């Protein structure tokens, strides 16, 4: 059900330095899709920058910063929308600033369903000429008629009753909702607030009562037991509802979590469900051991890693991570990245492993092996298709190697007899440069193409080269 993904290209990822000495802007951005009563979809784009990241200069006896922001939205390789505006902020004194305070706002754009949009946000500090930028790719929902419809969820720092002090951009029905584009909570933001909408209820819910639920999932996708789920029993009176909620996350260990929200019938059968990743940074709370709600582990082997080594560590985990994992990682500062990588190791720790460190050592030895045997054209072995499969499932039980012939391109069939009663992976060297691509597998969850044999056949030009 995932409908959007974002690639955060954060040019400056360091921790913010004390009061107004930061040399970067450190933009954050998030998005959420909602729907108007007439069925028109619209996109909310949330953005923020730390209040202490721009340079402040004295203007009329007060300190003032000025940041120029520019947004470009590309659709079908064409500039679809753009906007340029200024953000200013005035303070009396920079010495006692709240280091966690963010300058936050949002934009709204009507969008088409089932379309991909590329967003680019640029920020320039006009008092220092420093620049930051980030990009985000978003694919809008193509709603179906088979189940109640759920909007994206908006993560927020606060949700309060609307009054005259609320900025109009944060006004939603009866609420004032302050977004959290960083998607990070914990030591600074102790409560995670959230808002979402549900549509087409009267047509898709068979009875006159239903439930809405929200819960926190840990890095392994399991309910985080110390925080009980939020469950509300609702009477079916309207075709659309707005839901708000709040979780206290001040005691959660640092790491990546998911907020899962769903609609069920009165018997708890799930009618629709979605989730969103968020980050917790609690330096004082140690990560939980995999499979345990009690034991804690220190980060040990990651303690001395700088940003470059952390990035290299994540790159070698390419076979074990999803695009979404890598995108979330790039949005974090150094301590968040360290905790995030550690939680990735915990999430993939095999049962019976002596420790995370031992598992990591064995994995890195396999990385060295695939790098030696499968690196091609500047691509490290752990990023090639054969290297990825090796790192996920180990060495195959048997490899069939087929050289080029007049009937086929070079290809390999890897057999794993100890997985799911025997599975295969088929790789082909399409261009003849020893760059093998996965084209078919019988392993559940992997690429499956029952007509893969056609991909082994050479083209006419290749045939005449024989």
Give the chain's radius of gyration (CA, Å): 25
Q: Which residues contact 57 (CB under 8 A, 6 or more apart)?
A: 63, 64, 65, 127
Say yes or no to pLDDT of 9 above 60.
no
Residues of the chain with CATH 2.60.40.10: 21-139
> Residue 7's pLDDT band (boundaries 50, 70, 90)?
very low
Q: Where is average pLDDT lowest: 161-175, 203-217, 288-302?
A: 288-302
Domain 144-288, CATH class in plain words: mainly beta
When pLDDT is averaged across residues 400-423 and rounded to a whole number, the result is 92
Cβ-contact 334, 15 below 8 angstroms? yes
At 338 the pLDDT is 82
Do residues 426 and 438 touch, judged by C-beta distance below 8 A?
A: yes
DSSP state of 391: H
The torsion defined by the Cα of 254, 274, 324 and 6, in degrees rounded to 10, comes to -110
Per DSSP bridges, beta strands 423-429 and 241-248 are: unpaired
- Please give the pLDDT value at position 41: 94
The least confident of 256-260, 331-335, 416-420 is 331-335
**∠ CA 115-116-118, rounded to 5°:** 145
Q: What's the CA gap between 260 and 357, in Å, rounded? A: 31
Task: Read off the pLDDT of residues 177-216 as tens digits, 9 standing for 90 and up.
Answer: 999 998 889 888 899 999 999 999 999 998 899 999 999 9
Comparison of pLDDT for 337 and 371, the residue scoring more? 371
297: pLDDT confidence band, cut at 50, 70 and 90?
A: very low
Residue pair 452/430 in contact (Cβ under 8 Å)? The answer is no
Q: Which of 405, 406, 452 is nearest to 425 (CA)?
A: 452
User: In the predicted model, what is the mean pLDDT of residues 165-187?
Assistant: 92
Task: Give CA angle at 153 (151, 154), nearest 5°.
Answer: 125
If pLDDT is split at 50, 70 and 90, which confidence band does 92 have? confident
> How distant, in Å, are the alpha carbons of 323, 362, 394 from that of 375?
21, 19, 17
The confidence band for 96, taking pLDDT boundaries of 50, 70 and 90, is: low
Q: What is the pLDDT of residue 240?
A: 94
| 344-358 confidence digits (pLDDT tens) | 887 788 877 777 888
Which architecture does CATH list for 21-139?
Answer: Sandwich (2.60)
Q: Measuring CA to CA, which residue among 407, 405, 449 is closest to residue 425?
A: 449
Intervals of CATH 2.60.40.2550 along the chain: 144-288
Residue predicted with more confidence, 295 or 443: 443
Q: Is the pLDDT of residue 13 over 60?
A: no
Q: How far apart are CA 184 and CA 138, in angstroms?
A: 20
Q: Mean pLDDT of all residues in the chain?
A: 84
* Per-residue pLDDT, 121: 92
pLDDT band, residue 12 (cuts 50/70/90): very low
CB 170 within 8 A of CB 178: yes
Q: How far is CA 246 from CA 29, 74, 172, 305, in A?
A: 21, 35, 17, 34
Beta-carbon neighbour count of residue 195 at 10 Å?
Answer: 22
pLDDT, average across residues 221-226? 87
User: For residue range 63-73, what is the model confidence (pLDDT) as tens digits?
Assistant: 999 999 999 99
């Amino acid at each position: 059900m995932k409908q959007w993904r974002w690639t955060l290209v954060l040019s400056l990822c360091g921790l913010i330095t004390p009061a107004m000495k930061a040399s970067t802007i450190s933009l954050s951005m998030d998005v959420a899709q909602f729907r108007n009563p007439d069925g028109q979809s619209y996109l909310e784009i949330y953005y923020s920058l730390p209040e202490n990241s721009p340079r402040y200069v004295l203007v009329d006896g007060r300190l003032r910063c000025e940041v120029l922001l520019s947004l470009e939205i590309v659709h079908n390789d064409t500039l679809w929308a753009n906007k340029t505006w200024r953000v200013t902020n005035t303070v009396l004194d920079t010495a006692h600033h709240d280091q966690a305070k963010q300058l936050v706002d949002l934009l709204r754009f009507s969008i088409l369903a089932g379309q991909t949009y590329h967003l680019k946000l640029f920020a320039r500090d006009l008092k220092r000429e420093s620049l930051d930028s980030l990009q985000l790719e978003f694919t809008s929902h193509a709603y179906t008629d088979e189940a109640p419809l759920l909007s994206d969820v908006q993560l927020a720092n606060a949700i309060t009753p609307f009054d005259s002090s609320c900025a109009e951009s944060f006004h939603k029905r009866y609420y004032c909702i302050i977004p959290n584009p960083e998607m990070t909570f914990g030591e600074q933001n102790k409560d995670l607030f959230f808002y979402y909408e549900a549509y087409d209820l009267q047509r898709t819910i068979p009875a006159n009562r239903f439930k809405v639920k929200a819960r926190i999932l840990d890095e392994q996708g399991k309910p985080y037991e110390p925080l009980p789920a939020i469950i509300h029993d609702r009477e079916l009176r309207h075709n659309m509802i707005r839901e708000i909620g709040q979780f206290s996350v001040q005691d959660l260990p640092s790491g990546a979590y998911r907020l899962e929200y769903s609609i069920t019938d009165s018997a708890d059968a799930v009618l629709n469900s979605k989730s969103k990743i968020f980050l917790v940074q609690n330096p004082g709370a140690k990560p939980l051991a995999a499979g345990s709600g009690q034991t804690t582990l220190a980060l040990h082997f990651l303690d001395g890693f700088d940003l470059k080594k952390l990035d290299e560590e994540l790159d070698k985990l390419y076979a074990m991570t999803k695009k979404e994992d890598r995108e979330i990682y790039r949005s974090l500062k150094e301590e968040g990245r360290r905790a995030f990588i550690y939680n990735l190791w915990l999430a993939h720790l095999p049962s019976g492993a002596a420790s995370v460190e031992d598992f990591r050592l064995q994995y890195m030895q396999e990385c060295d092996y695939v790098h030696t045997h499968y690196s091609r054209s500047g691509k490290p072995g752990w990023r090639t298709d054969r290297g990825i499969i090796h790192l996920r499932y180990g060495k195959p039980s048997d490899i069939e190697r087929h050289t080029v012939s007049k009937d086929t391109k070079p290809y390999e069939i890897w057999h794993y007899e100890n997985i799911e009663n025997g599975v295969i992976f088929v790789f082909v060297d399409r261009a003849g440069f020893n760059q093998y691509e996965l084209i078919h597998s019988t392993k559940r969850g992997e690429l499956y193409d029952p007509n893969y044999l056609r991909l082994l056949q050479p083209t006419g030009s290749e045939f005449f080269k024989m």
